[in-house]
Structure formats: C-alpha cells, structure tokens
Amino acid sequence: MEKDHPRWDERRVLVTGGAGFLGSRVVDALKGRGCRSPFVPRSRDYDLRRSEDIERVLRDARPDMVIHLAARVGGIGANRSHPAEFFYDNLLMGTQLLHESWRAGVSKFVGVSTICAYPKLTPVPFAEDDLWNGYPEETNAPYGLAKKMLLVQAQAYRQQYGFNATHVMPVNLYGPGDHVDPENSHVIPALIGKCVEATERGEPEIVCWGDGTPTREFLYVEDAAEAIVLAAERYDGPEPVNLGSGVEISIRDLVHVVAKLTGFKGEIRWDTTQPNGQPRRCVDTSRAERWFGFRARTSFEDGLRRTVEWYRTQRTQGSAP
C-alpha cells in the first residue's frame, strides 16, 4: 500500500476542521513532520456547506492534499435532537468538498469518517468488510450514513476519474481539549464533568443514560492524529480503514474508572428510560497496522488520567471547558 510520496515540506495541505479537538492535533502532527503552514479554514470565513465557499477555500489554499475533518458531531442527545442537521451538514460538506477537490486537481483526499457508519449489530471486532451488512444504530444513523456516503463517493471518483481519495474510520475519541457541554459532548467528557461537579457540590449521586451494558472502544486524540497523518503519508488504497485501540470496555466499567480517577464516591444511578445506543463497539485494527503502520500507543487509563487532569486544571483556572 505504500509508494514514494513528496516530502511533507513540499506539500500544501488543507485541513478542514483543523482548529478543532482532533484537527488541531493533526495540524501539529503535520508540522512535526515538516509540513509548512497547513491551511486551516475557519467557519467564520468559509461555510463548507456552500459550494462557492469550498471553491474559494481551494483557490486560497491551493492544496495538493486535503484532509477532511470538519463535521457536525455530538453525543446521543445531540444526534436525537438534530438528526436532519447532522445528515444535511455532514453530507453537504463532504460530497461538495471531495468533488471540488477533484475538479481543482488535488492529488490526494483523505476522508475521515466515523465508527457510527457500521451496522447496529456488527459482529465484534468490527471488520471493514462488514460495513455494508446492515443499518446503523438508529440514534446516530443520519450522521453515520452521511459520513458513509463519503466512502461511496471516494470509490466512485477513484473508479471513474482515478482520483486518489482514501477513507479512515476512527472509533470514539477522547483527551484534553474535548467538548464537555452536556448537549454536544461524547460519553467520556460528559462523565468527567458529571463526576467532578458532583464531587465539588457534595451531591450524593450521578445519573447515567441507559443501563451500562453497551461497550465502546476509545482512541486517545493524539494517537488518532498520528493515525490520520500516517494514512495521509502512506495509504493510497480504495478500501476503508478502522482506526482504534483494539480495547473494548463497557459503559458501566467506564463510569467506575472515571469515578475513581475523579474521586467521586457517590451512587451511580442508571436511567433506563434513555437509550443505550449501539450494543457493542470494538474494531479490528489489523488493516491500519498492516497497511500504514499505525498502532495506538496511549493506554486507556493513562489517557483518561491526562484528560481528568486537564479538566481539573481548566476549572481551577476559571476557564472551565
């Protein structure tokens, strides 16, 4: 899967979403490899749902590579409240950006998708060949399907035009700098926020959604950034590739680990009127290791500890995230 590529100091790279939680780490990883000034468009200047803004950003950046990270994302609550926006915004950003990148003569397009694209009842560990064997879990299906269409488009443009468009699918990410707003956050930052705030207020319990039985796999954000840059550097194939740690943990066990690291000693109550989401998530990571040499380096407990420390520091400094 590897071939000779231009050196990073010779590449002009456009990173959509490059100011975000994952994107800022991808930009740092690119700079660390010698990439000069990756172009990071801001939403206030370029609305990537509008084709004219996409054409303009491609004129301004003149990239030979595009790494597409920009997305409308959130947890189960946000996906349930805004399914139309999650579908429309993600579909329009992806499909127009890939098309205009091809038209502009971009030499490589790296589409970053989501684990939510997999069918609800995919056998564990999720293998890329199972991607089309069913419908995604209902609460995030609009988001997952919108991102999945980027794979369809990438393969179609490769087939018809020879366009080098690749597709990677990270599992749930976590780490310092993540969103902790209850409406938009994912499970780890939401749990850290709940536990820390309950401890500070002396509250006797926290309430968690579902029954705690679903499992998830998490990837530390800096490991995810490394994986994406490795794929950009070394992988030119048409097939999707999972990015993960290969470690599965139940939500119930996750809550107990977060409670331990944050010092929360109260009761954990499960609200079973709220959805569980997908029953299990854990991916086969062998393709990423075999094709472009990625293997997660950060242990889950170390990554969680760093994330908790970051959150506490932000609150202590009066800039709570």
Element (H or E) spanning 35, and its range? none
Tokens 């329009």 identify what position? Answer: 92
User: Which residues, listed in sequence order, are joined to residue 206 by a DSSP beta bridge?
Assistant: 268
Q: Which of 214, 227, 321 is nearest to 277 (CA)?
A: 214
User: Which residues, listed in sequence order, are joined to residue 271 by a DSSP beta bridge?
Assistant: 209
Tokens 């609150």 identify what position? Answer: 315
293-308 core/surface letters (b: 16 or more CB in 10 A; e: else): ebebebebeebbebbb
Q: How many CA atoms lie within 13 A of 203 on its CB side?
A: 13
Measured between alpha carbons, how far is 163 from 102 in angstroms, rounded to an integer? 7
Q: Which two tokens stand for residue 302?
A: 């170390």
> How many residues appear in the chain?
321
Three-class SS state of 143? helix
φ, ψ for residue 218, nearest 5 deg: -125, 145
Residues 6+ apart with CB under 8 A from 121: 134, 279
Residues with a catalytic annotation lie at 143
57, 41 Cβ separation under 8 angstroms: yes
Q: Which two tokens stand for residue 10?
A: 């010779």
Tokens 């977060």 identify what position? Answer: 258
